[in-house]
Structure 1
Amino acid sequence: MSGSAERNRRADARRNSGAILDAALRLLDAQPDASLDAIANAAGVTRQTVYAHFPSREHLLAAVVDRITDEAAAAMDAAEPDTGSAADALLRVLEAGSRTAARYPVLAQQIASLPVSPHTDQERHAPIADRIGRVIRRGQASGEFDKKVPAEWLTAVTIKIGHAAGEEVEAGRMRPAEAAEALRTVLLRALRPGS
């Protein structure tokens, strides 16, 4: 196979993979039980093409998780995590991540309910945790956040409080604005030195 033909084949494969993921995001958020046939049809490819890229539904779902994580990480980076006070930056970063998750409410809930090992869960959250941790370490260095507690612990607490706020909204116990204010209040109290 010539170099040009190989490049074209790889470009086609990337386009197909992207189309499959785009279709999976749309369909699975609207219909969590959508079949691989339906996803293939929405992507404009055959079922065999879907299986060539994603050997099982679980592989496709893992790729969807990666896509959403990448989107959230990009949104968090665009929220200027290195600008202004660490507290303000952290809240901007969390809001950016939350807006991304809010674009896929059903899918985010489905992903959160999947049983995964602690190691897989840690890997899934790593890009998000890295961004949050960077802001927390900056806040510790500036004295805004407690230095006596490891940044990794504060990062984990921040993620858990964020999940709790989202779960309260999903369950209908809080309105989004209420949950955002509760998150802000509790989180800043938890991070403050001498709390």
Structure 2
Amino acid sequence: MVDSHAAATPQRRRRSDARRSIDAILDATRIVLGERPDASMDDIAARAGVTRQTVYAHFPSRDALVAALVEAASAEYTALLDAAGLDTDPPADALAQFLGAGWRFLDRYPLLLNATAARIPRPDPDPHDVVPPRLERLIQRGQHTGDFDPSLPAAWLAAAVLGLQHTAAAEVSTGRFTSHEAEALCLHSTLRLCGGDARR
């Protein structure tokens, strides 16, 4: 009779090894494509420390690999926002944390600042659909507490804040500003836009 525990152990080990390979490949993809968006699967495999065949065993095409990276990035961004205290911290602090989460995310995924980002597949759920309502709720809360100017619709302010952050990110990608400079300017401008205290 086969010991089920003994049989399961190699299976668990194989699954664990596969998970480590996938994580290494995704991390290598994040770094390599962030540096060189046109990098090959061979380049990614070399960075991950695996063979090209191993990469293709997990991801049948470059498009599939990029799609998996985008899904992982989306989950990571959602986790950053969940930890940012958007619904609990003082509104101005929460807004600063919202912007900070975005900058930390872009620092980890510079590929998304590249001009080719428009051709990157969108994850499901797409942060472009999920993030605006969360930001709008935060701004509404700040308007109710008197931290933000209530004279403009929260939905308009949320759209303007996101547009400002995208513009700031584009300025970084062109080299006109450093990430640190753009982050500080974006926070100052956003607080002024919302009618908050920009002296932070």
Q: Which of the numbers 125, 128, 131 marks the counterpart of 1:125? A: 128
- Please report how far the alpha carbon of residue 20 of structure 1 lies from its aligned counterpart in structure 2 after TM superposition: 0.6
1:170 match: 173
Alpha-carbon separation, structure 2, partners of 1:27 and 1:178: 25
2:73 match: 68
CA contact (8 A) 1:69 1:128 kept: no
Asked which structure has the greater CA Rg, the reply is 2
- Please report how far the alpha carbon of residue 90 of structure 1 lies from its aligned counterpart in structure 2 after TM superposition: 0.6
Give 1:1-195 correspondences, 5 Å limit.
Answer: 2-105=7-110, 107-110=111-114, 113-115=117-119, 123-126=126-129, 128-129=131-132, 131-145=134-148, 146=150, 149-151=153-155, 153-176=156-179, 178-192=181-195
- Please report how far the alpha carbon of residue 162 of structure 1 lies from its aligned counterpart in structure 2 after TM superposition: 0.4
Residue 166 of structure 2 aligns with an amino acid whose one-letter code is H
Residue 164 of structure 2 aligns with an amino acid whose one-letter code is I
- Please report how far the alpha carbon of residue 174 of structure 1 lies from its aligned counterpart in structure 2 after TM superposition: 4.0
Alpha-carbon separation, structure 1, partners of 2:132 and 2:51: 37
CA contact (8 A) 1:36 1:47 kept: yes
Change (3 A) 1:10 1:129: farther
- Please report how far the alpha carbon of residue 36 of structure 1 lies from its aligned counterpart in structure 2 after TM superposition: 0.7
Change (3 A) 1:136 1:150: closer
Alpha-carbon separation, structure 2, partners of 1:156 and 1:162: 10
Alpha-carbon separation, structure 1, partners of 2:57 and 2:12: 18
TM (norm. structure 2) is 0.73
Change (3 A) 1:52 1:131: farther
CA contact (8 A) 1:76 1:131 kept: no
RMSD: 3.4
**CA distances 1:69-122 after superposition (whole Å, capped 9, x unpaired):** 3334434444443454212211122123203312443x22237633368x7698
Alpha-carbon separation, structure 1, partners of 2:183 and 2:35: 25
Change (3 A) 1:111 1:8: farther
TM (norm. structure 1) is 0.74
- Please report how far the alpha carbon of residue 25 of structure 1 lies from its aligned counterpart in structure 2 after TM superposition: 1.6
Alpha-carbon separation, structure 1, partners of 2:29 and 2:184: 33
Residue 193 of structure 2 aligns with an amino acid whose one-letter code is A
Percent of aligned pairs sharing the same letter: 43
Change (3 A) 1:54 1:128: farther
- Structure 2 residues not aligned, in runs of 5+: none
